[in-house]
Amino acid sequence: MSLNPQELKGLIDSTPNVSVLLNLPGYYAKRQLPEKGVDSEVVYDCPRTQMMVRTAVKGTQIGHHFHTVSDEIVIVVGGRGEILVNGEWKPVKAGDVHVCPRGIVHDTRALEENLQYISVFTPHLPPGTDINWVK
């Protein structure tokens, strides 16, 4: 069965408005990293979900925070670091996945090497920010 493109009109509401296939090693190789902090680019965006490809540069700690609207799924794809999970720092490396529901305090740090990861926010982050810093 084939669909008439007119039947899909109004259904696609994403940026980009096509399917996405990323080659992560190639993607990361082309990025210019800051000296410190987190390099982050939104690679998929729609009203329901937002996906960012990120690198926490060696020596970076993001800071304890929580989200009020969005759950965050972190997929570690390269390097090593630590994620604050339920109040404890846990070492992470490629292949680790952290699922953090809204309202849960978490943090990420890359102390000895860069940490490459993907963050998926669902539902989509609200305009501005959904980061609530904890001191």
Please write the tens of the pLDDT for every residue from 43-94. 999 999 999 999 999 999 999 999 999 999 999 999 999 999 999 999 999 9
Q: Which pLDDT belongs to residue 93?
A: 98
Band of pLDDT at residue 10, cut at 50, 70 and 90 = confident
Q: Which pLDDT belongs to residue 128?
A: 86
Per-residue pLDDT at 17 exceeds 70: yes
Residues in the chain: 135
Domain positions in the chain are 36-133
Instruction: Assign a CATH topology to domain 36-133.
Output: Jelly Rolls (2.60.120)
**pTM greater than 0.75 (yes/no):** yes
Q: For the chain, list the strands marked E by DSSP.
A: 38-45, 50-56, 60-61, 65-66, 71-85, 88-93, 97-100, 107-110, 115-122, 132-133
Find the mean pLDDT for residues 14-40. 95
Find the mean pLDDT for residues 36-40. 97
Q: How many whole angstroms separate alpha carbon 69 and alpha carbon 20? A: 25
